[in-house]
C-alpha cells in the first residue's frame, strides 16, 4: 500500500474486506484511519470489514453509520471550508447476501447525506 501511495499520492482510500481484527493495526503516516471490523468468533480468522484512510490534513469528521443488517460500512464527512459537506462511505456487501435484501440498509445510509460517493476498485 505504501508503494501505491508513493506512486499515486491519493488523498483518500476506501477499503473493503480488510480482514482485520481488534489487535490488528492499519496506520500510514500522515493518514487518519477509520475502520469497522466485522465481529468474529474465537479461533476464526477475521473476515469482511471496511476502512477509510484519508490525509490527516483534510478537514473531516467521523460519521457514525446507522444500524444495518446486511451491509458493513465506515463513513466520514469531508468539511471543506466554505464548501458543502460530503459524506464518503466504504461499503462491503458479502457475496452471500441477495441484492434484494440490501435496499433497506442502502436507503438508511443514503438518507443520512445530501451527497454520496461510493466506489470499489
pLDDT tens figures, 4-41: 878 888 899 898 887 877 777 788 889 999 988 776 65
Alpha-carbon separation of residue 13 from 94, 98, 118 (angstroms)? 20, 26, 11
SS3 label, residue 107: helix
The arrangement of strands across the sheet holding 71-78 comes to 60-63, 71-78, 86-93, 116-117
Which of 32-36, 56-60, 64-68 is predicted most confidently?
Answer: 56-60
For the residues 45-62, what does the mean pLDDT come to?
88
Q: What is the pTM of this model?
A: 0.80
Grid cell locating 49: 470489514
Number of Cβ atoms within 10 Å of the Cβ of 27: 8
Q: How high is the pLDDT of residue 79?
A: 93
CA 22/CA 9 separation, integer angstroms? 28
Residues 82-106 pLDDT 10s: 998 888 889 888 888 877 778 778 7
Amino acid at each position: 500500500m505504501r508503494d501505491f501511495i508513493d506512486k499515486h499520492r491519493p488523498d483518500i482510500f476506501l477499503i473493503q474486506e480488510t480482514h482485520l481484527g481488534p489487535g490488528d493495526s492499519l496506520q500510514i503516516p500522515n493518514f487518519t484511519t477509520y475502520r469497522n471490523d466485522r465481529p468474529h468468533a474465537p479461533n476464526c480468522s477475521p473476515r469482511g470489514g471496511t476502512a477509510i484512510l484519508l490525509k490527516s490534513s483534510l478537514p473531516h469528521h467521523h460519521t457514525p453509520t446507522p444500524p444495518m443488517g446486511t451491509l458493513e460500512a465506515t463513513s466520514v464527512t469531508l468539511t471543506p471550508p466554505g464548501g458543502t459537506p460530503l459524506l464518503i462511505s466504504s461499503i462491503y456487501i458479502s457475496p452471500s447476501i441477495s441484492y434484494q435484501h440490501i435496499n433497506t440498509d442502502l436507503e438508511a445510509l443514503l438518507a443520512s447525506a445530501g451527497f454520496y460517493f461510493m466506489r470499489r476498485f
